[in-house]
Amino acid sequence: MIPEGLVAPELALALAIAALAGVTRGFAGIGSGFIMMPLFSLLFGPLEAVIIVCLLDAFGSVQMFPWALPRTDWRKVSFLALGSAALIPVGTLLLINLDQELMRRTIGVVVIGFTAFLMTGWRYRGPDGIPVSLGIGGLAGLLSGGTGMGGPPVIAYLLATSATAEKVRANIVSYFLLLVTFIVLAFAWNGAVTELSLWRTGSLLPVFLAALWVGAKLYPLAAERTFRRVAYTLMMLSGITALVR
C-alpha cells in the first residue's frame, strides 16, 4: 500500500532536483548531495532529506564499488570509516532532537561553506597516520550524521596522499559507501527511517541513476573545468536557498 503523502506536488519537484543532481555528479564526480540536501530539506524536512540523499548516494556508490573494491587502500579507508562510525550517532541524535528549522539553516551554511572550500582547491598538507585518519573520519561522521554532508574533509585528506589518482578515487568510493551505510543504520536504529521516506527514495532512485549515467556520458563532450564551475554554482545556489527561504 502506497503511504499517504507520497504522491504530491513536491515529489515532482524532487524528481527534477534528483535528475539535476545526478547529471552533475555523473559528470563532475561531486555535487549531488550538495544540490539535493538543502532543497530536499525544504520539501521534506532536514531529517527525511538526509535519509533520502544517503540512500540515493548509497545506490550510486554501489554502481562503482565493483571497480573500486580491488583498488582501495582498505587500511586507510578502514580507519577513516571507524572514526566516522564512532561519531555518526552523535550527529544523528542532534539532527533528530534539535529544532528542524535550525537544522535546515545549518545545512544551508554547511553547503555554502564546503562549496567555497572545494572551490579554493585546498589540499591537506599536515601529518598522516592512524590518529589523523580517525580524527578526520570522526569529523566527517559528525557532520554527515547531523547534516548528511561530511565529505570534503575526507576528500581533501585523500587527495593529499601520494596514492595514484585511480587509487584515490577508489578510496573515496569505498569510504562513502561505508559512510552512508553507517548513517542509514544509525537512523534506522533510532526509528527515523519511515515507510514514506523509503517510498520516496524508491520513486526518485530510477531518475537519479539514469541521470548519473547521462552525466557520465556527457563527460567527454565538455571541459571538466567548465562543468565544475556550473556544479559549484548550483551547489552554492542550493545552499543559499535553504539559508534564506
Cα 17 to Cα 54: distance, rounded to the nearest angstrom: 15
Residue 219 has pLDDT above 70, yes or no: no
Q: Are 184 and 193 in contact (CB under 8 A)?
A: yes
Inside any domain, residue 2: no
Cα 243 to Cα 107: distance, rounded to the nearest angstrom: 8
pLDDT in tens, 137-148: 998 888 888 887
Phi, psi dihedral angles at 23 (to 5 degrees): -60, -40
Count of structural domains within the chain: 1
Mean predicted lDDT score pLDDT of the chain: 82
Buried b / exposed e along 135-168 (16+ C-beta atoms within 10 A)? bbbbbbbbbbbbbbbbbbbbbbbbbeeebeeebb
Averaged over 23-36, what is the pLDDT?
A: 76
Sole residue written with cell 561531486: 30
pLDDT value of position 154: 83
% of residues, the chain, pLDDT over 70: 87
Domain that holds residue 61: 9-244
pLDDT value of position 123: 66
pLDDT in tens, 94-103: 888 888 778 7
Q: Classify the phi-psi angles of 124: left when phi > 0, otherwise alpha if psi is within -120 to 50, otherwise beta.
A: beta
Inside any domain, residue 3: no
Cα 208 to Cα 227: distance, rounded to the nearest angstrom: 18
Residue 5 has pLDDT above 60, yes or no: no
Q: Range with the lowest mean pLDDT among 14-23, 91-100, 216-225?
A: 216-225
pLDDT value of position 86: 93
Q: Range with the lowest mean pLDDT among 171-175, 212-216, 227-231?
A: 227-231
pLDDT in tens, 59-69: 887 877 888 89
What sign does the dihedral 69-209-197-102 (CA atoms) show? positive
pLDDT value of position 80: 94
Residue 15 has pLDDT above 90, yes or no: yes
H helices within the chain, ranges in order? 9-28, 32-44, 46-68, 74-97, 100-120, 130-147, 151-159, 165-189, 195-218, 224-244
Residue 83 has pLDDT above 70, yes or no: yes
